[in-house]
Homo-oligomer: A and B are copies of this chain.
């Protein structure tokens, strides 16, 4: 269960934020599109298509707010816009992103090995790590077959 609704309500209350319909439908867009990395415009389009009118500025403000609350995670794939995905709170299992340099698709890869690395870093450089983001660039299965680049 990715999102706990009652817990969410509480986290809004704590900060005296209001749980408006706009904020709910933005979050719903991410629930409806798992494994996607939606940009602000993506979210805006999804909501317009389902006749849930919302201003683009509100989308931006909501994405920032949800990121600050650690409900979403902001990320960058080098395509000139920020993208977001739901932040799994049981962050026991991290996943990494495999970005294909040929077709641009982004795949995910489950892995926990980085915990080890985090510990090494914490010890060696006295840096208290709270999160990480890993991107691998390469060529996906399909593109490798198309042409041996």
Is A10 interfacial (CB-CB < 8 Å)? no
Would A130 and B121 be within 8 Å (CB), given that A76-B78, A113-B116 are in contact?
no
Task: State whether the Cβ of A146 lies closer than 8 Å to any Cβ in chain B.
Answer: no
Find the B residue at minimum CB distance from A117: B113
Of residues 96 to 119 in A, which have CB atoms within 8 Å of B's CB atoms? Answer: 96, 98, 100-101, 107, 109, 111, 113-114, 116-118
Classify chain A's interface size: 35 or more
Q: Which residues of the partner chain B approach A51 to less than 8 Å between Cβ atoms?
A: none
Q: Which residues of B contact A134 (CB under 8 A)?
A: 132-135
| Segment of A30-38, A58-66, A136-144 in the binding face | A136-144
State the main secondary structure of chain A at its contact with B. Answer: strand
Nearest B-chain residue to A133, judged by Cβ: B135
Cα distance A133–B117 when bound, in Å? 14
B120 and A113 contact, CB distance less than 8 A: yes
Chain B residue, CB-CB nearest to A110: B124
Q: List 5 additional contacts besides A111-B117, A127-B139, A133-B135; criterion CB under 8 Å.
A: A98-B121, A98-B129, A100-B127, A130-B139, A132-B136
